[in-house]
Amino acid sequence: MSGSKQKWIALLLALGLAALGGLSLWNERRNAPQPDEAMEGWQEYTVYWFDVFDTVTRVVGYAPSQEEWTRQMDALHEDLVAYHQLFDIYNSYEGVTSLKDVNEQAGSGPVQVDERTFEMLSLAKEMYTVTNGKLDVAMGDVLSLWHDYREEGLANPDSAQLPPQEELEEAAAHGSIQDLILDEEACTVQFADPQMQLDVGSVGKGYAVEQAARAAEARGATSLFISVGGNLRAIGHRADGRDWIGGVQDPWNLEDTLCSVNVQNGESLVTSGDYLRYYTVDGKRYCHLVDPDTLYPAERFSGVSVLCTDSGLADCLSTGLFCMSLEEGQALVKSLEGVEACWQLTDGSVVYSQGFESRLVS
């Protein structure tokens, strides 16, 4: 493993631990509720994985035995690996129609896909409308340009450059969500524009976490806190009756937690930020979260966190809100039932929705 890869994994691991932090703090600051008698004698377990969605996965939870914990974790891991392969835009897998295959073939005709892929893309199209176009999986060519220039800039920082405006505009010309044709009956995906490409980094991981968590619940899991690169999803509560606590990373001090949040059964906490994937050109930092309207990385916030009862929805909204003005974002959050948010502004200030602030662990 290269030195840069090791540093990246170490940072992600640190952020994952911070995201799941606050449990000891919670112990100290609140009187314990009644333990769950059904979980009497259960032990706490933790597992890490490094092979899904190019990030660190950490699951902490309670189970009546090591055998039951292992059974649940093996199944959960298998589900996450399956979603990782389905939503991968860089690699193909034997026996799997990945999004790389879709990007290569859908411009020539309908491509039959897994139901999970179809449902994720259906959610993405719906959220395009909800976010007024700020969540756009059809702008794969634009994001690919930024990805390539970012990678080159990280490898050679002294000669880092921005993508030429004309190249961005040409790529954007082939990024209309209306050209993403989904046939529900046939479960196929087709591109009306043969040059269009998908990038589901703004929805795929969150959708996968939500669906994998629901499958775990169906298998009988009753006490898990899942973190896939900081995308948090709660199942049940702890054995002592406490809810899970998720940490929001401090975007200005990556060794610290900005705040800790009470995450209840079935809820997710997802953050989009400018502090992990970025590069610097002429002293200015450019992150990976690109505003579809400007074709440039959004600059209004250092981070946006969303708390709601669906990890896929939270993933979409955290990206969409990151690319909106604060006023637009507040209006959107207020219009959506059960959705709360926290905006971390670039001037170091923090704005909470009313419901989000009420969940803070003080």
Which residue is it, tokens 């509720």?
33
pLDDT digits (tens, 9 = 90+) for 97-152: 999 999 999 999 999 999 999 999 999 999 999 999 999 999 999 999 999 999 99
Burial group, residue 284, by CB count within 10 angstroms (0-12, 13-18, 19+): exposed
- Bridge-based pairing of strands 301-308 and 350-352 is unpaired
Other beta carbons within 10 angstroms of residue 41's beta carbon come to: 8
Give yes or no for a contact between 251 and 237, defined as CB atoms under 8 angstroms apart.
no
**Separation CA 305–CA 46 (nearest Å):** 25
> Residues 6 or more apart from 16 whose CB is under 8 A from it?
55, 56, 57, 58, 227, 229, 230
At 279, give phi and psi (nearest 5°): -145, 170
Say whether pLDDT at 179 is over 80: yes
Distances (CA, A) of 339 to 305, 322, 329: 11, 15, 11
| Mean pLDDT, the chain, integer | 92
CA separation, residue 113 to residues 106, 210, 342 (Å): 10, 20, 36
Q: What is the pLDDT of residue 1?
A: 45
pLDDT at 21 over 60: no
Q: Which has more pLDDT, 43 or 15?
A: 43
Task: Look at residue 4 and tell me whether its pLDDT is greater than 50.
Answer: no
Residue 344 has pLDDT above 50, yes or no: yes
For 345, the 3-state DSSP assignment is: strand
11-20, 95-104, 162-171, 281-290: which has the minimum mean pLDDT? 11-20
Q: pLDDT tier at 230 (50, 70, 90 boundaries)?
A: confident
Alpha-carbon span 23 to 7, nearest angstrom: 26
Alpha-carbon distance of 332 to 39, in angstroms, equals 39
Q: Tens digits of per-residue pLDDT, 182-228?
A: 999 999 999 999 999 999 999 999 999 999 999 999 999 999 999 99
**Taking a C-beta distance cutoff of 8 angstroms, is the pair 138, 175 a contact?**
yes
Give which of 321, 362, 323 is closest to 339, Cα–Cα: 321
Q: How many CB atoms lie within 10 A of CB 53?
A: 21
Question: Percent of the chain having pLDDT more than 70?
Answer: 91
Confidence of residue 27 (pLDDT cuts 50, 70, 90): very low
Sign of CA dihedral 148, 137, 338, 35: negative
Q: Is the pLDDT of residue 268 over 80?
A: yes
- Segment among 27-36, 106-115, 203-212, 295-304 with least mean pLDDT: 27-36
Between 304 and 4, the more confident residue is: 304
How do 278-281 and 284-287 pair as beta strands?
antiparallel
Q: Does residue 258 surpass a pLDDT of 90? A: yes
User: Residue 191: in which H helix or E strand, if any?
Assistant: strand 188-191
Q: How many CA atoms lie within 13 A of 299 on its CB side?
A: 6
From residue 104, give the alpha-carbon distance in Å to each of 124, 137, 167, 265.
20, 16, 20, 40
For residue 218, CA distances in Å to 75, 137, 209, 260, 341 come to: 11, 30, 14, 28, 29
Dist. CA 206–CA 83, nearest whole Å: 11
CA distances from 157 to 11, 197, 267, 303, 350 (A): 20, 28, 40, 24, 31
Please report which confidence band the pLDDT of residue 34 belongs to, taking 50, 70 and 90 as the band edges: confident
Dump pLDDT digits (tens) for 64-80: 999 999 999 999 999 99
pLDDT category at 33 given cuts 50, 70, 90 is: low
How far, in Å, CA of 347 to CA of 301, rounded? 9
Above 50 in pLDDT, residue 8? no
pTM for this entry: 0.91
